[in-house]
Amino acid sequence: MKMAMQPVSALFLFLPLLAFGSGDIYIVTVEGEPVVSYNGGVDGFSATAVDLEERMDITSESVTSYALHLEKRHDSLLDSLFEVGTYKKLYSYHHLINGFAIHMSPEQAEVLSKAPGVKYVEKDMKVKKLTTHTPQFLGLPTEVWPTDGGFNRAGEDIVIGFVDSGIYPKHPSFSTHNTEPYGPLPRYRGKCEVDSETKRAFCNGKIIGAQHFAKAAIAAGAFNPLIDFSSPLDGDGHGSHTAAIAAGNNGIPVRMHGHEFGKASGMAPRARIAVYKVLYRLFGGYVSDVVSAIEQAVVDGVDVLNLSVGPNSPLTTAKTTFLNPFDAALLSAVKAGVFVAQAAGNGGPFPKTLVSFSPWITTVAAAIDDRRYKNHLTLGNGKKLLGLGLSPATHGNKSFNLVSANDVMLDSSLMNYNPLDCQRPELLNRNKVEGNILLCGFSFNFVSGTASIKKVSETAKSLGAAGFIVAVENTYPGTKFDPVPVDTPGILIADVSKTKELIDYYNCSTKRDWAGRPISFQATASIADGLAPILHKSAPQVALFSSRGPDVKDFSFQDADVLKPDILAPGDLIWAAWAPNGTDEANYIGEGFAMVSGTSMAAPHISGIAALIRQKNPQWSPSAIKSALMTTASTLDRRDRPILAQQYSENGVMTLVQATPFDYGSGAVDPKAALDPGLILDSTYGDYVKFLCSVPDLDPDEILNITSSACNNTKGQPSDLNTPSITISHLEGTQTVKRTVTNVADSETYIITTRMSPEIALEASPPALTVLSGASREITVTLTVKSVTGGYSFGEILLKGDRGHKVRIPVVTMGFSN
């Protein structure tokens, strides 16, 4: 909530002591610039802000003394308002934003909001997860790693920070046993917590830092140390998975149930991993803890920050999506030179479901890559039913009798336990199941996570079944059916119409007595081998669950002049490391690897590739890296056809449609091209402030409050920001925008062409330009409404260089009549 600042009449307010878990957590920002942007002006404290090319020395006297000065001011403010013991300050923020997180009563929040020097009081909220064949799919081993000395040098001395659920340090993806030793990296200053039980540090050189943040969770009464671990240890699996995708060791065998599913590798296998645990098993996390982790990561000196987390719901008290505490901290991180990749969200395929909004963040959508796992069931009547099942075939490829779990219950009174789920073998008659294929049903318990395919497999195995079938009889909108690796022959029939065929065949072939009890089971079936993947040239495709644009500028969901998502990366059925004690996926409890899906998995692909770009170009800004990724991305699949997106048809059936920039941003990432983009479009912190100042209806005082930067008199348009895309959500008549390109390769001459939907005229000038190495040139882009369609129009500006570089800038607009 934004509140007017008014003086308080009393020095102390005597309010009741807070009980544990009572009250609320608030994020407060106060007057005064944070370390990252302080240019001097306070007596006795020299400037701490540095140019982007420089690394801030957080150990310097100027930084430490000014940070301490801010913290003392926070404490002094609170001491002047409230009695000791009536509140608890959780964190002081002084490097990226100037403020603090505090646990207090709503009445105290009201008082604090009116105190002199207080700019903003925002109630904290929860965050959630946005839940390795891909190096080959992206061409890393053959086209990218060799240029930097091979996989054993890819990402060398680049630090990727993971704000996630922690890490399982004993996993071979993070081991240093079979790798060249990791030397010291003095510029990284993060600490390494020690496991309270084993007394061993979580770090080993590969893992260079490991910390956990839970003060807000503890104050809210949500944290249980017996379940959530008061350490960086991953009790979920999610954090280990994302870290391994970005920076896991190369060539780690993915073995489960005696079968090897290939070898896993991170995008940048020699990059260092810095762990900032903010997510916990049962409740997710809190923004206060996340902001503290982000600040600490930047202070520690990470190069790249991976965020596979997002708010549970919009921060509705902020007037714009771009100025909530989460995005404000990330803006300061970018100012400090840190590249930020964030998962787009898993709210697809519906529009305006993104949880990542700001142009300084690289927002990553999820793609399906070329590897698919299919299986089929052959019935005794000759019909083949397609399904999902990462399992071996039934023994000898023979057929076996089918028995339904409902027909082999030990006691009909056990129906209360939903025996059709096949989660409890003690409910079923082993004598009737043994040697047969057990037919189970898919209930909502599978959706909620209280039932799992893994447990069905264990039930079938313990009863001596020849295999199992899980059949989906009812549709569960939004449910994603993934193949699950099991060691018992098994298959999931996800198509309701195919399930009906299966059940009809079973019922016709099963003889029953007068009471409906089965006398003999004569339906037969065989399950095929589903362990080998099928490679498709139709990849990549935009995954159904991946959140879609357009981006929104406020929480009344008005369209923003920013293209989101920014880029597409693999995020479906991704094999990577898992924590054996992880509880995030019921099908992988106790396992060392997991194959899971989500934009959470897409973001670390981009973080790892960004690490490779930073390794090659250490002086590039975060926006330069983002530009290299976006302008070289592809809008074509492996067949050289336009990328398709999974979508729902009118009757709710999943179908494929041609993707748009609201599905994939600038397109699918191309790591090889991104390492040599030719031209980049760069933006500075000042440019981002100008962008905020140009957003209509945004109060300049609010911008000053959060960025400590004032708006000047020249308003401009949001689309003026020098991003590698152009988005104008409301185009009337003609509008002109400019883009500045900088040559990061040898001098080159580019021919400029445009393509646009017929209802919009798109022109770019000059038609050709020569850009000297290291030089910049300006392009003028003019858009004119020719006819109004009531929807968005899509196009692109293409720059083709005579040395082979191609730079593509997507253009998105909606035309309106004057």
Active site residue 600: yes
CA distance 71 to 83: 18
Report residue 341 as tokens: 């990749």
Q: What is the DSSP string of 518-587?
A: EEEE--EEEE----S-EE-TT--EE-TTS-----BSSTT-PBPSS--S-EEEE-SSEEEE--TT--S-GG
Report residue 178 as tokens: 């079979």
CA distance 662 to 365: 10
Burial of 412 (0-12, 13-18, 19+ CB in 10 A): exposed
CA distances from 490 to 347, 436, 503 (A): 30, 12, 17
Among 113, 404, 600, 694, the active-site one is 600
**Cα atoms found within 13 Å of the Cα of residue 51, Cβ hemisphere only:** 4
The helix/strand/coil state of 602 is helix
What residues contact residue 252 under an 8 Å CB cut-off, 6+ apart? 172, 173, 263, 264, 265, 577
Report residue 255 as tokens: 């073995």
CA distance 192 to 371: 38
Whether the CB-CB separation of 394 and 466 falls below 8 Å is answered with yes
Token pair 């990252």 is at which residue? 36
Among 133, 171, 238, 605, the active-site one is 238
The helix/strand/coil state of 179 is coil
Q: What is the DSSP string of 127-170?
A: EEE----HHHHTTIIIIIGGGGTSTTTTTTT-EEEEEES-B-TT
Residue whose C-alpha is closest to residue 570's, from 641, 640, 643, 497: 643
Residue whose C-alpha is closest to residue 444's, from 469, 478, 410: 478
Active site residue 238: yes
Whether the CB-CB separation of 463 and 433 falls below 8 Å is answered with yes
Strand partners, 339: 304
Among 124, 157, 164, 421, the active-site one is 164
Number of residues assigned to the chain: 818
The helix/strand/coil state of 474 is coil
Catalytic residues: 164, 238, 600
